[in-house]
Structure 1
Amino acid sequence: MKFSENWLRELVEIPVGLDDLAHRLTMCGLEVESVERLGTQLDGIVVAEIIAAERHPDADKLKVCRVSAGGGETLQIVCGAPNARDGLKAPLARVGSTVGSITIKSAKLRGIESNGMLCSGKELGLDADFDGLFELAADAEVGQPLADHLGLPDAEIELGLTPNRSDCLGMHGLAREVSAQLGSRLQFTDPQAITATHAGTLAVDVQAPADCPRFCGRLLRGVDAKAKSPRWLSDRLRRAGVRPISAVVDITSFVMLELGQPMHAYDAATLQGAICVRRATPGESLTLLDERAVTLDPEFLVIADAQRAIGLAGIMGGHATRVTLDSRDVYLEAAHFAPASISGRARKFGMHTDASHRFERGVDPRLPRMAIERATELILQIAGGEAGPISEAQSIQHLPPPRSVSLRRQRLRRVLGVAIDDADVGRILRDLGMQVETTVDGWSAVPPSSRFDIAIEEDLIEEVARIHGYSKIPEQMPRGEISAAQQPEGRIAPSRMRDHLATRDYVEAINYAFTDAALLAKWSLAEGGIALANPLSAELAVMRTSLLPGLVAALDANHKRQQARVRLFEVGRSYHASAAGTREIERIAGVACGDAMAEQWSDARRALDYFDQKGDVESLLALCGAGINEFRFENGGPEFLHPGRGATIWRDDVQVGVLGALHPRLLKALDVDAEVHVFELDLERISQRSLPISGELSRFPSLRRDIAVVLSDEVRFARIEAAVRQALGDRLVELVLFDRYSDKNLGIGVSSLAMGLILQDRSRTLSDQDADHCVELAVSALATEFAARLRG
């Protein structure tokens, strides 16, 4: 945000100098990035008029000018400016004055004496866009000091506004901020309504009221588009960093700078039928003011007439309907667009406009009508014409509603560490345009509609601190009642899981919660993805639905940098959209590749396999304290897992995670040159643990009986273990699988499983008959349920 110091001083009383003003603005949160003083070296520069301009006898590009410098003085000056002509008024640097680093002296140019220099705006540091003579208004007083004529000295001040202070992107909003900071009086009023002198209007149809809850338009007839912008208008635009174009366009730019409301002017003769605000149709094209042709989709909001789109809403108008010097009837448009409907749209075309900059941050919804009235006033004053009535379409339910925010006296004192008088707090809030009521324990304030950033109590505390002055708040160590967070016994803390995985040779990684939609599609995880309205880049445009894509990308980056053995894990959230709404799931995930163990001398090298990582997962699940038997592993899994080396993990009847090797097809698509094993668990579901309950230790010895049974390979051991435990009850202390044997003599599709039954009773010593009976029960249960037979 760049503005003229003199313009600001016209809008609000400022009893301090430029340096103090800049310091105060920075200290209240409106950081001053630069200050450029203008017109401080214009001594000896006056307004002059060229009486006659004749060609130099010895130089084609030079002219010999007779110049009136006021007081009846006439000077002869040789000038090479292409626009030097009779009757032109321009700055004159007298002999002895200084322009830049040059001191003006009398000289002879190609044999002709020259007594002074006619100056360009570039030479004077007033206009960098034009290298001819700086043309002054026809009514400029000859002989008057140029600084007085141009309202100099002045200063261009540039602010680095944070996105939450969009209210200061207009001079009126900035003046209100300065008024509150200095306790001074505002010197402007809201624009007055203009009486319509003709009844012509254009119908307005807002088909996207949530995106455009308010739209105002007015038809002006008989406008002289060739009228020249007055010097005061073009100077204010230049000092705000805006290039003057033509009177009507300059006025819309000026109103945007003054009020903070972007607006646009159309040549009414080019419009066909009613004005419509709608979403673009797929493939719809539009040529913008900068003659760039863009292809749109329904993500974009457009202003359209009955035939085609005429402007990209909140960003830039169309080229075909622009106001030209031949325009006679002008249609003014000012609207309120919801920030979400504009945010990020300009960047999709590599653009950043003044309008999009403001609408992305939020514009006061009261301003559209005020902007139309102010622009109408200036156009009638400068370019003439007749004004019609304002047509307005609005959707009240989609406009931001007024909201009341409470501020507690004790909370204010505790956060700031200093007591501020109640009267000062009320004055500060009122000076910032809020409606304030005193309550028993503090205040209740309704922020103005321009302050989108005030929503909670801390926002009001920040406002009070800014205006009261940070320098008045004493420096002291923070203090407060801090109590240790109570960790529930029935839940395993994520920090403990982190430590456990670290002991198993995993390194923690932290990835962005944003990812690439194309990457999720490769993993078949795009369903339920949440697209960002304003992404940092195309590669970070969607919220992740799993931690694994980011972890595998990190693993691959390490593997391609000569790290053959990689172990990574992450604790974070995944994000999912559904018909029921959006939800976040906290997960813990791990990825691994390379050897099962780090290089050593005692064991031979062996590649990591499914069971190695299953052991890691089982050790993690064992932290829940209920025993691994609460969890079961079932064959299968999502598409990204290898069909023969993947599993889903269940706790009771709820799936809590997946485990396995990545599918070779996915590895090829990701260009990963390694076999990768992964796991991902729902942290909330696995962290619930059963509290340990002490029990009496048996005073009697245990017995062990080994059995070997032959049964189908399709039977999972978890089902075998469940059947044996159900058959033997409390007498079975532990079931150990210690061997698996398969051979063609046993049969095809069957294997022999050797298991050890650890038996014990709390009331007596088990006999051999008791042990043999347990073996019979176990074998019988397996035979009945799985058609197993005892081997040998």
Structure 2
Amino acid sequence: MQFTESWLKSLVNTPLNTQELGDKLTMAGLEVEELEPLAPEFSGVVVGLVVKKDRHPDADRLSVCQVQVGEGDVRQIVCGAPNVAEGLKVPCALPGAELPGGFKIKPTKMRGVESGGMLCSGKELGVPSDVDGLHILNGDFPVGGNVRELLGLNEMKFTLKMTPNRADCLSVWGVAREVAALTGATLNAPSFSPVAASINDTLNVTVENTDLCGRFAGRVIRGVNNTVKTPQWMVDRLEGAGQRSLNALVDISNYVMLELGRPSHVFDLDKVQGDLTVRWAREGEKLKLLNDMEVNLKPHMGVICDDNGPEALAGIMGGDQTAVNEGTVNIFVEAAFWHPNAIVGRAREFNFSSEASHRFERGVDFQTIPEHLERITALIIEICGGQVGPVVDQVLNLPARKPVTLRHARAEMVIGMPFTVAQVQDVFTKLGFEFTTEGQGAEGQAAGTRYVVNPPSYRFDIQIEEDLIEEVIRVVGYDNLPLRAPMGKLKMLPAPEGKVSRHAIRRQVAALGYQEVVSYSFTPEQWEADFNSNTNPVRLLNPIASHLSVMRSTLIGSLTGVLKHNLGHRVDRLRVFEVARVFEHDEKVQDGAQTVAGFKQTWKLGGLAYGLADQLQWAANNNRPLDFFDVKGDVEQLLHGRKVDFERFDTANPHPALHPGRSARVLVNRQVIGFIGELHPKLAQEYDLPVAPIVFELLLDGLNTRKLPAFKEVSKQPVVVRDLAFVVDQNIAAAQLKKALLEVKDDNLGWLKSVILFDEFVPKEEGKGLNLNEKSLALRLTLQASDRSLTDADIEPLLTKMIEHAGQRCTARLR
């Protein structure tokens, strides 16, 4: 929000100087982001009158001008501007002048002709100008006068950084109300005197959807003259607010929007076909906007239509078809209340924002529409003339403004300082809030007092008690808060040892040599298809980039993208991980404190390893490339202390991103929590990776709990070791055989302390008791009792059961 200091002070009579005013607004929550003059600093520029112009003898595009810069002071200046002409008054920088950017003017020769200064364009002075060439000055300016003072360029311009809740201050009048409340200054309200109707012409407007438009007002004005020049005072204020002057009717509409916060639209009545209808758009409808953008409308967007179809995008921007121009004679002026929920986000779907949508999606005053329409009308009649029809005001569906109660004791507790009842009442009075006081006791017993406030129609941000507490301390002043040490008592809450935080998990993975990366949750749709076979990803309505159009359901694509980026920067060994949410559709999910209905948001840990198994070093031959089992060991380290199993994917249902023969599911307590494997060769080739990396992805729910260690007496008895070699089919995994041995139902199974695979033999030809489709797996069993030494008589029955069970489950036989 931009405006000039003089415009603000014309509405509020405050004695504060510029810096004091800026500080006061900032401390009240209206941050003054910039406080600067209308134009950058320059000096030595005066009003020059071009008294003679001749062609340069050696340059077709240069002119030799005689410029009067004072009484009896005529300078010869060479100028290249195309619009220089005799009789013009233009800015003239004399020798010694300094222009914005530190550019100093000195006498010089241009193509052999002496030049004693420089005639300036608006761009060179840092002032807005629609002229291509020299900045043309008002003919009434005295020759030799100081251009900076005559143009008022020393005036200060305020730029406020508004918070989204303060839509009421998106106007100079709104800021003036704040200044009056903060300083006690007197407000000078603009005139809202009704303009009497001189004709009976009206335009029928039908509002079909009151959830789109809650109030619609408008009037017909005939016989306007839009060729007149906008008054300079209005142009100056518009330019000070960052607005370019276009034509009188558009300037008036923009001016009232900036002055009062009331967006409006002016239709060329002669271009409107039939009556107007306010409704939601229909599928397939199109509209060319005032910014020359043609948009495809959607059913959740509001439009104003005539018999030909949509003519304006409701609350956002008018259409090109009915726009006013210099030939406009008859107009229809519209001012309406559009429900914020019907406007928010619509303009961003077309990748632009308008001044109107910026205000309507935050909430615009719905009670003052007739008064503001009278203000617009009065300015149009004053500047453009015309005959005025009656105001047609339809009140349809205005938002309910529920009273908000403030407890005095609650305000003191939250703010941290005492207040009197009179202080709180004074704040609400200054802000113009209607209120009643309940439960008021004697002075010193204000704690039980309650204030019931009816929020004004322009304060959409006043909804709960905390909003009123904020208003109290804003107006009283944050700088009046007492300086006190914190008095809060802190409790040392015990952290459950069985719960592992996400931060601790990150530290564990980092300790294994992995580096954490943070990447966007938005990914290309192709990644979802390649790395997770996800054909129905969660799509973004307004992606930050066209290729980042969906939410990721796996972290593997992002990690592969990190690898690809690093390979392009000559990184040949990489271990990275990411802890983040992934997103999927799930109709079972309901709205909650941390959930959104219909969407499942799951925390996962993803990792990727690439290159050599170890860093280069002189003491070992470490040129061995990384393999599946290196990363499997890392995953086992992360899951240490839990019952972990790895199962190969079914050949009929492999993971789409992993090598079919070099991948596995990860199970904890027989529950699948993720996967590990080598990236599929097809994807390695598609993404131009020299070698396929090893990747893993685990649910954080499988990592963030752990079994607490429990004391167990160490046995003093000797261990017994038995080696068993089994012949099994080559499709049987060692893990299956080991699982079969551990599932034996026997009271003495507790003696079995470990089962380790120490040998695998796969025959290349028939013989040695093996067929070509068989292999030998040798397992070492360690047994130990806590109360006695085990004998063969103790062990043999258990081993016999284990061998039989392995035969039943895995068709295994002893070799």
TM-score scaled to structure 1, two decimals? Answer: 0.77
C-alpha distance 408-696 of structure 1, shift in aligned 2 (>3 A): farther
Aligned to 1:261: 262
Which string of whole-angstrom CA distances, capped at 9 and with x for unpartnered residues, describes residues 189-242 of structure 1? 7957777763633333556x66x3436252414241436344544443333332
Q: 1-side partners of 2:635 and 2:188: how far apart?
A: 71
C-alpha distance 578-307 of structure 1, shift in aligned 2 (>3 A): farther
Aligned to 1:71: none
Q: 2-side partners of 1:436 and 1:528: how far apart?
A: 53
Q: 2-side partners of 1:433 and 1:739: how far apart?
A: 87
Question: What is the identity, as a one-letter code, of the residue corresponding to 2:226?
Answer: K
1:757-772 matched pairs, under 5 angstroms: 757-762=781-786, 764-772=788-796
Q: 2-side partners of 1:597 and 1:222: how far apart?
A: 85
- Does residue 676 (structure 1) correspond to residue 715 (structure 2)? The answer is no
Contact 1:171/1:259 (8 A) holds in 2: yes
- Does residue 511 (structure 1) correspond to residue 527 (structure 2)? The answer is no
Which moved further from structure 2: 483-492 or 259-268? 483-492
Q: Which of 725, 728, 740 lines up with 2:742 in the alignment?
A: 725
Q: 2-side partners of 1:92 and 1:641: how far apart?
A: 72
Which string of whole-angstrom CA distances, capped at 9 and with x for unpartnered residues, describes residues 609-630 of structure 1? 22221221122122xx44336x
- Does residue 492 (structure 1) correspond to residue 509 (structure 2)? The answer is no
Contact 2:4/2:158 (8 A) holds in 1: no
Contact 1:314/1:342 (8 A) holds in 2: no
Contact 1:36/1:156 (8 A) holds in 2: yes
Unaligned runs of 5+ in 1: 47-54, 63-79, 102-118
Q: 2-side partners of 1:172 and 1:788: how far apart?
A: 89
1:347-358 matched pairs, under 5 angstroms: 348=350, 351-358=352-359
C-alpha distance 91-770 of structure 1, shift in aligned 2 (>3 A): closer
Contact 2:223/2:329 (8 A) holds in 1: yes
Question: What is the identity, as a one-letter code, of the residue corresponding to 1:387?
Answer: G
Q: 1-side partners of 2:127 and 2:631: how far apart?
A: 72
Q: 2-side partners of 1:365 and 1:669: how far apart?
A: 58
Query: Offset at 1:31?
Result: 0.8
Aligned to 1:612: 630
C-alpha distance 740-127 of structure 1, shift in aligned 2 (>3 A): closer
Contact 2:628/2:694 (8 A) holds in 1: yes
Query: Offset at 1:766?
Result: 3.3
Aligned to 1:736: 756
1:702-717 matched pairs, under 5 angstroms: 702-717=719-734
Q: 1-side partners of 2:550 and 2:430: how far apart?
A: 42
**SS of the residue 2:743 aligns to:** helix
Which moved further from structure 2: 665-674 or 555-564? 665-674
Q: 1-side partners of 2:564 and 2:639: how far apart?
A: 27
Aligned to 1:161: 161
Aligned to 2:27: 27
Aligned to 1:65: none
C-alpha distance 462-557 of structure 1, shift in aligned 2 (>3 A): farther
C-alpha distance 420-223 of structure 1, shift in aligned 2 (>3 A): farther
1:320-719 matched pairs, under 5 angstroms: 320-335=321-336, 336=338, 338=340, 341-343=343-345, 345=347, 348=350, 351-359=352-360, 363-364=364-365, 371-382=372-383, 383-390=385-392, 392=394, 402=402, 404=404, 409=409, 418-421=417-420, 423-434=422-433, 440=448, 448=456, 450-451=458-459, 462-473=470-481, 478=486, 480-517=488-525, 519-524=527-532, 529-531=537-539, 535-538=543-546, 542-579=550-587, 580=589, 581=597, 582-600=599-617, 601-622=619-640, 625-628=641-644, 634-635=649-650, 638-651=655-668, 654-698=671-715, 700-719=717-736
Which string of whole-angstrom CA distances, capped at 9 and with x for unpartnered residues, describes residues 230-264 of structure 1? 45444433333323333322221112112223222
Query: Offset at 1:281?
Result: 3.9
Contact 2:435/2:454 (8 A) holds in 1: yes
Which moved further from structure 2: 717-726 or 448-457? 448-457
Contact 2:579/2:603 (8 A) holds in 1: yes
Aligned to 1:789: 813
Q: 1-side partners of 2:794 and 2:631: how far apart?
A: 39
Query: Offset at 1:146?
Result: 13
Aligned to 2:774: 750
Question: What is the identity, as a one-letter code, of the residue corresponding to 2:678?
Answer: A
Q: 2-side partners of 1:57 and 1:516: how far apart?
A: 63
Q: 2-side partners of 1:739 and 1:146: how far apart?
A: 98
Contact 1:559/1:566 (8 A) holds in 2: no
Aligned to 2:220: 220
Contact 2:643/2:669 (8 A) holds in 1: no
Q: 1-side partners of 2:416 and 2:246: how far apart?
A: 53
Q: 2-side partners of 1:120 and 1:562: how far apart?
A: 52
1:223-262 matched pairs, under 5 angstroms: 223-226=223-226, 228=228, 229-262=230-263
C-alpha distance 444-699 of structure 1, shift in aligned 2 (>3 A): farther
Query: Offset at 1:302?
Result: 4.6
**SS of the residue 1:549 aligns to:** helix
Q: 1-side partners of 2:413 and 2:136: how far apart?
A: 60
Question: What is the identity, as a one-letter code, of the residue corresponding to 2:742?
Answer: R
Query: Offset at 1:501?
Result: 1.6
Query: Offset at 1:468?
Result: 3.1
1:44-443 matched pairs, under 5 angstroms: 128-129=129-130, 155-164=155-164, 165-188=166-189, 191=192, 198=200, 200-205=202-207, 212-214=212-214, 216-226=216-226, 228=228, 229-273=230-274, 274-279=276-281, 281=283, 285-293=286-294, 302-335=303-336, 336=338, 338=340, 341-343=343-345, 345=347, 348=350, 351-359=352-360, 363-364=364-365, 371-382=372-383, 383-390=385-392, 392=394, 402=402, 404=404, 409=409, 418-421=417-420, 423-434=422-433, 440=448
Question: What is the identity, as a one-letter code, of the residue corresponding to 1:751?
Answer: K
CA RMSD of aligned residues (A): 4.7
Aligned to 1:115: none
Contact 1:199/1:389 (8 A) holds in 2: no
Contact 1:122/1:129 (8 A) holds in 2: no
C-alpha distance 23-37 of structure 1, shift in aligned 2 (>3 A): farther
Q: 1-side partners of 2:513 and 2:353: how far apart?
A: 48
Question: What is the identity, as a one-letter code, of the residue corresponding to 2:623?
Answer: R
Contact 1:634/1:649 (8 A) holds in 2: no
Question: What is the identity, as a one-letter code, of the residue corresponding to 1:735?
Answer: V
C-alpha distance 334-121 of structure 1, shift in aligned 2 (>3 A): same
Q: 1-side partners of 2:452 and 2:470: how far apart?
A: 15
Q: 1-side partners of 2:552 and 2:468: how far apart?
A: 35
**How many matched pairs?**
723
Which moved further from structure 2: 166-175 or 576-585? 576-585
**SS of the residue 1:584 aligns to:** strand
Q: 1-side partners of 2:493 and 2:522: how far apart?
A: 30
C-alpha distance 256-587 of structure 1, shift in aligned 2 (>3 A): same
Question: What is the identity, as a one-letter code, of the residue corresponding to 2:162?
Answer: T
**SS of the residue 1:573 aligns to:** strand
**SS of the residue 2:509 aligns to:** helix
C-alpha distance 750-498 of structure 1, shift in aligned 2 (>3 A): same
Q: 1-side partners of 2:246 and 2:507: how far apart?
A: 65
TM-score scaled to structure 2, two decimals? Answer: 0.75
**SS of the residue 1:275 aligns to:** strand
Which string of whole-angstrom CA distances, capped at 9 and with x for unpartnered residues, describes residues 345-394 of structure 1? 45855x55433444465545556565444323433454332334435485
Question: What is the identity, as a one-letter code, of the residue corresponding to 1:222?
Answer: R
Q: 2-side partners of 1:456 and 1:526: how far apart?
A: 43
Question: What is the identity, as a one-letter code, of the residue corresponding to 1:552?
Answer: T
